[in-house]
Chains A and B, each alone.
Chain A
């Protein structure tokens, strides 16, 4: 579809440039807020800006959150792995409700979930 292609378009170029300018502006504003002493800001009339404590605290919070996020993702993965005694290791809702398609001669058989007993017999019992 033409609307969803990632090709460059004039509108996208304008958005990109606006974001570029906006991010530079935000960064310069952050540097001004963090470095210029409070008395100078007060003398300019800017009295209601947040405490400078946050100029250090917010990046720290962000970096610690990213670090914990790695550990958290690992832990969530381990928690959502099915235990060895659950039926989710063998089948699931879609496999239980699948319908048998009519077998046509000389056609490739339809894709289906083969029960585990059949698979085991094929793999591990040698057919004489």
Chain B
């Protein structure tokens, strides 16, 4: 089933939960589409300084072709390395947790953490760019100290869901993790 939520910056995201078996669950967050950040004011007819300048600059076809080429290359780089389409989490009890990010160009990057290293999956709050955000993270066990935390792996970094979505994710993960503890 799929439900609509909002990300930290207000864009709509969708959470899809699938239960493959009693101890295996997949949680996928689909990131927002490219939203136009601003709209040109309608009815901007006629000439003014910026449009005349742009026309004069682009008269030279070298500049135009260079601008087109750079835009294309930049767009491809953005789609391949920056724009995340979907982030998903596959929790298999007593085996491990796999986090994958699929980019808009089709590239998928995954990280797998085995269950022996996972201490807990928690919702943490931290300061991020003049905001305080909640984010889901995996706490990794310190092999030397059973109570200690060696590393923090933040999840869903590109979609940044809000607290209501994070609570659903947290509860789903905890149900699987509790089976492993008992």
Contacts and interface: CB of A to CB of B under 8 A. Distances in A.
Interface stretch (B51-59, B69-77, B117-125): B117-125
Of the candidates B122, B135, B147, B150, the one having the most CB atoms from chain A within 10 angstroms of its own CB is: B122
A125 B171 contact: yes
A68 B123 CA distance: 37
Contact of A84 (B119, B147, B154, B167): B154
B126 A87 contact: no
A87 B150 CA distance: 7
A65 B123 CA distance: 42
Nearest to A115: B147
A102 interface: no
Interface SS of B by simple majority? strand
Contact of A117 (B120, B135, B154): B120
Interface residues of B, number: 24
Given A84-B157, A124-B167, A116 B122 contact: yes
Contacts of B124: 89-90, 116
Closest 9 A/B residue pairs (Cβ): A89-B126, A120-B122, A117-B120, A84-B154, A116-B122, A124-B170, A124-B167, A81-B127, A85-B152
Interface of B: 119-120, 122-124, 126-128, 135, 137, 139, 147-154, 157, 167, 170-171, 174
Given A85-B151, A86-B152, A120-B120, 15 more contacts: A81-B127, A82-B126, A85-B137, A85-B153, A87-B152, A89-B126, A90-B124, A90-B149, A96-B148, A115-B147, A116-B122, A117-B139, A120-B123, A120-B170, A124-B171
